[in-house]
Homo-oligomer: A and B are copies of this chain.
Amino acid sequence: MTDLRIADVRVTPIAFYDPPLLNNAGCHQPFALRSIIEVETEDGVIGLGESYGTKDVLAGLAALAPAMRGLAVTDLNGLWFRTAKALPDAPTRLTLRVGGAIEVAMWDALGKATNQRVVDLLGGPVRETVPFSAYLFYKFARHAGANEDDPWGEVLSPEQLVGEAQRMVDEYGFDAIKLKAGVLEPEAEIAGLEALRAAFPDAPLRIDPNGGWHVHTTLNLLPRLEGLVEYLEDPTVGIAGNAVIQAATDVPLATNMYVVEPSHLPPNMAQDAFRVILSDHHYWGGLKASRDLSEICRIWGLGLSMHSNSHMGISLAAMAHLAAATPNLTYDCDTHYPWQTDEVIEGGKLKVQGGALKLPEGPGLGVTLDRDALARLHGNFRALDYDVRDDLSEMHKHWPDWKYGRPKF
């Protein structure tokens, strides 16, 4: 009998290059912070996870990791008891991130130890390829102080946006297109969407102002958005504010900001605010909690898709296995993956083709660590002079007068 007990949990913070992408909070910093989690069983099987690499999550993982020894990798109840015990004063938000990071590695270890894929452990595959969407950002041509433009160049106008989309669709074959908004004046962003519609007549479009619009602004914009987008993501702040908007339109509202942990579900259902949940196993509490969320969406008749942050291939593989085991995935998933140039897994970047990722082959998540790459990316992390994400300060290097506001417009 395989010994499924955990012998060791290792966490390695990494940093990888990220382009100067814009959003309602500011501008992405030159390096994105992540953590790579290894759960090693008594038999030497190593399960992998990937999560946030910011200071609070790393501190939480450091507290929880030694407490995981001796637990079976199947024991998710035990994981959450130990997480609560290791982080007695942490907010739910952090508890879910820390426990969820290790949970994914437990599934991977179980799969690798028993020669089963994670998709099988999560209930079986309903698809072998998972559809993703093009994720467009406004962006600067280069990071502040950089010597040359990145390959994507500046994207601030509708024409540049169409160019970015064309390149991304050509390269990856995406069907749906999402625009990260809340950056420019709403009129300018909707002009960008309309330019995308003209260039891609059949593409399902989405826009995500990240809570950057006032309720009255959004209500005024609805006539232009209806018929243009398949969903409207987090137009304004909070469940109550978005409920006002949802009551005024048939365009479904989606969220990855205001229904982000289980306790947000009851008020969302009671107020009929968001009709699409963009799940994310990194903050929802791992793969099991995300499967639970998908069942809740099915029962309550909500749409379901998947949110993304800047990430490597371990996260992409986990998202794909989860999505492949989820019957009611009603929209193509988001991913930042095309924006990343580096990779921490053996074989380099996973191939997104025809707008979809085929599940990596092999047991567990189907990916293994490239330890040279891990060491290099960990070196990046150690060389950085920041350990939290701060889009606002980064934005001020480009646009000193930029004002943060949520809602802003």
Contact A123 B299 (CB under 8 A): no
Residues of B within 8 A of A292 (CB): 292, 295-296
Residues of B within 8 A of A298 (CB): 262
Write the A69-85 contact mask toward B (1 if CB under 8 angstroms, else 0).
00010111110110000
Complex Cα spacing A168 to B33, Å: 61
Give chain A's interface residue range (CB within 8 Å of chain B): 20 to 34
For residues 1 through 59 of chain A, which have their beta carbon under 8 Å from a beta carbon of chain B?
1
Q: Which residue of B lies closest to A265 (CB)?
A: B299
Contact B295 A72 (CB under 8 A): no
Complex Cα spacing A115 to B4, Å: 11
For residues 257 through 289 of chain A, which have their beta carbon under 8 Å from a beta carbon of chain B?
262-263, 265-266, 269-270, 288
Contact B299 A124 (CB under 8 A): no
Contact B74 A1 (CB under 8 A): no
Contact A299 B263 (CB under 8 A): yes
For residues 296 through 340 of chain A, which have their beta carbon under 8 Å from a beta carbon of chain B?
296, 298-301, 325, 327
Residues of B within 8 A of A327 (CB): 77, 80
Residues of B within 8 A of A125 (CB): 75, 77
Complex Cα spacing A288 to B122, Å: 11
A41 to B: closest C-beta gap in Å: 14
A339 to B: closest C-beta gap in Å: 32
Contact A75 B269 (CB under 8 A): no
A232 to B: closest C-beta gap in Å: 23
Complex Cα spacing A281 to B183, Å: 50
| Residue A345 CB within 8 A of the other chain | no
| Residue A114 CB within 8 A of the other chain | yes
Complex Cα spacing A304 to B116, Å: 32
Contact A120 B325 (CB under 8 A): no
| Residue A126 CB within 8 A of the other chain | yes
Q: A77-B325, A114-B114, A126-B77 are in contact. Are A72 and B296 (CB under 8 A)?
A: no
**Residue in B77, B120, B263, B295 whose beta carbon sits within 8 Å of that of A123 in the complex:** B77
| Residue A121 CB within 8 A of the other chain | yes
Q: Which residue of B lies closest to A291 (CB)?
A: B292
Complex Cα spacing A76 to B325, Å: 10
Contact B299 A78 (CB under 8 A): no
Complex Cα spacing A80 to B327, Å: 10
Residues of B within 8 A of A300 (CB): 265-266
A304 to B: closest C-beta gap in Å: 15
Complex Cα spacing A116 to B75, Å: 11
A114 to B: closest C-beta gap in Å: 6
Question: Which residues of A are at the interface with B, using a C-beta cutoff of 8 A?
Answer: 1, 72, 74-78, 80-81, 114-116, 120-121, 123-126, 262-263, 265-266, 269-270, 288, 292, 295-296, 298-301, 325, 327
13 pairs, CB–CB < 8 Å, chain A vs chain B:
A72-B120, A74-B123, A76-B123, A77-B126, A77-B325, A78-B124, A262-B295, A263-B299, A265-B299, A265-B300, A266-B301, A292-B296, A296-B296
Other 18 A-B pairs with CB < 8 A, given A77-B327, A266-B300: A1-B115, A72-B120, A74-B120, A74-B124, A75-B123, A76-B123, A76-B124, A77-B123, A77-B125, A77-B126, A78-B124, A114-B114, A123-B288, A262-B299, A265-B299, A269-B270, A296-B296, A296-B299
